[in-house]
Amino acid sequence: MLRSALQADCENCFGLCCVALPFGASADFAVDKEAGKPCTNLGADFRCGVHGRLRDIGYRGCTVFDCFGAGQKISQVTFQGVSWTASPDTAKAMFESLPVMRQLHELLWYLLEALSLRQAQPIHEELHAAYEETERLTELKVEDLLALDIAAHRAEVNVLLLRTSELVRAEVKLDGSGKRRKAYGRGADLIGAKLKGADMRGALLRGAYVIAADLRGADLRWADLIGADFRDADLSGADLTGSLFLTQSQLNAARGDASTRLPASLTRPAHWGG
């Protein structure tokens, strides 16, 4: 599977994220919406009628969400191109399968990255086996997909992703003077932290709360960023090249500028400017 298959292709999706998922009135959404209820901005052609103005009219959360290509996979493969409007009796199962498929595709994204890393060669065979098994699960019939213990599968894959992280970060645990770099750890509370220009190479920031942190000019190369919450974090001028398990949705939630350095697999969010 190519990375392009793990990126949202709205032209081949039945607007699933605009229907299946719930959201509540907040800083990210202008109104409340129940799961399974179409967003009022969704057109009959399954396109968002306000896509270019989402941030301006209070739907910032929509610009952050990334289905990792799960939407088109369910629409065109699992349900063989038959939409929930054309076959209403399939709607409930189609909507419920989206979160499961999204998690599988997210794991495929991480596994592809792990397989591309030189340092992960010692566990390449295990990573490849996990990738093949995860891809097989994405081909399940909808009833089997919904019965899948996705939490157990994520836990198994996560063991390999953590080992990958350790192998990569082992090369940069020491700074130039031979001293061990500052450790942050899983779930670190860095909300609003002043980290301008910080050397965070090889940091373990899994699940860290980096909300509204000042990371201008920070060096985050080889840092493990899986699950880190970057909402409103300032990444202007930061170096994220070589960072581990960074996703487009994390970037979309953050702030940055033309000088922010990104991995080649990700794109600069439009709202950053430059």
pLDDT per position as a tens digit, 47-91: 999 988 999 999 999 999 999 999 999 999 999 999 999 999 999
- Closest alpha carbon to 220 in 254, 250, 185, 244: 244
- Residues 15-38: tens digit of each pLDDT: 999 999 999 999 889 999 999 999
Tokens read off for 5: 């298959």
Q: Which fold does the domain 176-274 belong to in CATH?
A: Pectate Lyase C-like (2.160.20)
The mean pLDDT value for 203-215 works out to: 96
Distance from chain centroid for Cα 150: 16
pLDDT at 185 over 90: no
Nearest alpha carbon to residue 141 among 103, 111, 108, 100: 100
DSSP state of 3: G
The model's pTM is 0.93
| Average pLDDT for 172-185 | 67
Per-residue pLDDT, 174: 60
User: What are the C-alpha distances in Å from 255 to residues 8, 11, 259?
Assistant: 21, 28, 12
| 186 confidence band (pLDDT: 50, 70, 90) | confident
What is the per-residue pLDDT for 3? 83
Domain chopping of the chain, boundaries: 3-21+65-169, 176-274
Number of neighbours of residue 6 by Cβ within 10 angstroms: 21
- Answer yes or no: is pLDDT of 225 > 90: yes
Task: Reduce the DSSP state of residue 163 to 3 states and report it.
Answer: helix
Q: Looking at residue 27, what is its pLDDT? A: 87
16's CB contacts (< 8 A; 6+ apart) are 67, 71, 74, 75, 94, 95, 98
Whether the per-residue pLDDT at 159 is higher than 80: the answer is yes
